[in-house]
Amino acid sequence: MDNRKIAVFDSGVGGLTTLAYLKEMLPNEDYVYFGDFKNNPYGTKTTSELQSILKNNIELLEKKDVKIIVIACNTAGTQIDYLKTLTNVPLCEPITVTTNYINQMNDVDNILLLATNYTVRVGLYQKYLNKFNVIGQPAQELVRLAEEKKFDQKVIDEIMKEYENKVDLVILGCTHFGYFTKEIDETVKPKIIVESSYELAKYVVQYLTENDLLSGVGNANVEFVE
């Protein structure tokens, strides 16, 4: 048993989707949430800019004496190998767990990856899902809409209408996109939508359980840090 808190960080409000899933799955834990609004968005940064930002984030959360750092942001998750050199605190990210889940599927051929400019460009989803036809579609504008708590069907149509009835599965490869799941489903009409935030939360439960790190005293309280 480990009563330390679970840390979750994201480039902004997107990681609140991951946090919500975690609170539902692990109601006896307490949490620290860091939304990096100062440096949002991550998806337009260079690698050096991104790594500098993430180094500061890890150092900030380490000071909270947390038992795990959940990197909710897919763009940040592309730098997992670098981040692991910075800390001994266990880290987890959404790309590996999401692709592991999809790789178990047998009835999928064409996949639409909706993600930030950076995540699409780096190509880790495409690399790890190389037995499928993965179409990487930048959807950076949806990050802005989520942060501003706005909805614009025209923007969604411009980004993904061309894929209507043409893909079997859509990956929501950015935490922010969970706010638009219904609209994405109705626009693209895939068989399956896989939300990286949800797959990451499931993995955290599994990891903490297997490593005897669950707490029995928390009440899903959240400390928001700046």
Identify the DSSP state of 37. G
For 76, the token pair is: 């940040």
Nearest by Cα to 9 from 116, 113, 95, 92: 92
Query: End-to-end distance of the chain based on CA atoms, in angstroms?
Result: 28
Contact, 141 vs 169, CB < 8 A? no
Say which residue the tokens 């959404």 belong to: 94
**Partners of 33 in the beta sheet?**
8, 224
Contact, 138 vs 42, CB < 8 A? no
Active-site residue (options: 16, 68, 73, 115): 73
Active-site residue (options: 50, 76, 124, 174): 174
Identify the DSSP state of 177. G
Does residue 92 carry a catalytic annotation?
A: no
Nearest by Cα to 177 from 195, 161, 153: 195
Contact, 99 vs 125, CB < 8 A? yes
Taking the mean position of all CA atoms in its chain, how far away is CA 6?
16
Catalytic residue ranges: 73, 174
